[in-house]
Amino acid sequence: MRRLIYFVLAFVIWILLTWQIDAQVVIAGLIASAIVAFLFHEILPKEHRIFISPMRLFWLLVYVPVFFYYMMKANLDVVYRALHPKMPIKPGIVKIKTILKTESGITALANSITLTPGTLTVDLTDDGDPASRETFLYIHWINVKSDDIEQASKLIAQRFEWFLKKIFE
């Protein structure tokens, strides 16, 4: 079942990226999607149910423009800091806590943070009590506004976590 889901998902992505319905392109996409689904199904997320739930897909479609909004906002902020004569930056690494529990959700959060200019996910740890399963991320931040875990988590991750929780958990 996982292979079939990943085959369909890979083929849909292929069609969206090529944006052509030509016989050769479709056949190449079918072959490439089959190879990807066969070879890589074990390294893809174990939570494959997320790809077949209409509500999760709805929240994914809502998340994409929200993510792009924050990405564009961060781009403008980085450009401002780079072009400002005094270069107002205060770089540093901060520790944030995530409310996400699934590997896929945490990975999506780390990637969302990294793809947003001005922040970069450096490390991921499970520092907390094993019973609580708390996960922490270490983020390099171009302009550290707070080194408090709760405040930094709110400023960096909270805007993404709400959506990712609906998608991945």
| Coil, strand or helix at 96 | strand
Q: What's the pLDDT score for residue 97?
A: 93
Distance CA 103, CA 50 (A): 13
H helices of 22-102, in order, are 23-40, 54-83
Q: Which pLDDT tens digit goes with each residue over 31-81? A: 999 999 898 877 766 666 666 778 888 998 999 999 999 999 999 999 999
Q: What's the pLDDT score for residue 131?
A: 62
pTM tops 0.85: no
Q: What's the pLDDT score for residue 116?
A: 92
Return phi, psi of residue 145, to 5°: -95, -25
Q: What's the pLDDT score for residue 50?
A: 61
Q: Which residues on adjacent β-strands are paired with residue 120?
A: 140
Q: Report residue 88 as tokens.
A: 């107002």
Q: Which pLDDT tens digit goes with each residue over 96-152? A: 999 998 888 899 999 999 999 999 999 999 865 666 678 999 999 999 999 899 999
Q: What's the pLDDT score for residue 132?
A: 65
Q: Report residue 58 as tokens.
A: 């709805």
Per-chain mean pLDDT for the chain? 88
Question: DSSP letters along 119-135, please?
Answer: EEEEEEE--S-TTTT-E
The residue with tokens 């991320």 is: 137
Q: Which helix (H) or strand (E) holds 47?
A: none
Distance CA 35, CA 38 (A): 5
- Above 90 in pLDDT, residue 3? no
